[in-house]
Amino acid sequence: MSHKNGVTVARLAVALSLALSISAVQAASSASPGDPLAGSVTDALQGTSRNVRVQVVDGTVYLYGMVDTYAQRATIEDRATAAAQGHKVVDSIEFSPS
């Protein structure tokens, strides 16, 4: 096997690994909308921001999106934490001042 073929095989292995990882994340994402925990957190966030998504994977609540102020982000995190009832909340919300 030449060096070129070895590099091609390595690239194929990385691409396959990445594709499998993406599929696993997509499968987890599709499970969130029917999750009662996701529904509870989503309900608690009503009126805070239309740009925040809630996802629950293995009992952990993930928050994604963009808000205008740090105070808005803090409010969303506080409400999500209260609604999560002891489940871990991972805040990946970013803010971008207007």
Banded pLDDT at 7 (limits 50, 70, 90): low
* Digit-coded pLDDT (tens) for 40-84: 999 999 999 889 999 999 999 999 999 999 999 999 999 999 999
Residue 44: C-alpha distances to residues 18, 48, 66, 84 (Å): 34, 9, 17, 9
Q: Quick one: pLDDT at residue 28? A: 40
Q: Which tokens is 93 given?
A: 């919300």
Name which of 34, 32, 64, 33 is nearest 49 in CA terms. 64
Of 3-7, 24-28, 36-40, give the range with the top mean pLDDT.
Answer: 36-40
The DSSP secondary-structure symbol of 97 reads -
Please, what is the average pLDDT of the chain? 78
**Cα separation of the two ends of the chain:** 56
The backbone torsions φ and ψ at residue 26, rounded to the nearest 5 degrees and listed phi first, read -65, -40
pTM more than 0.75: no
Measured distance CA(29)–CA(54) in Å, rounded: 9
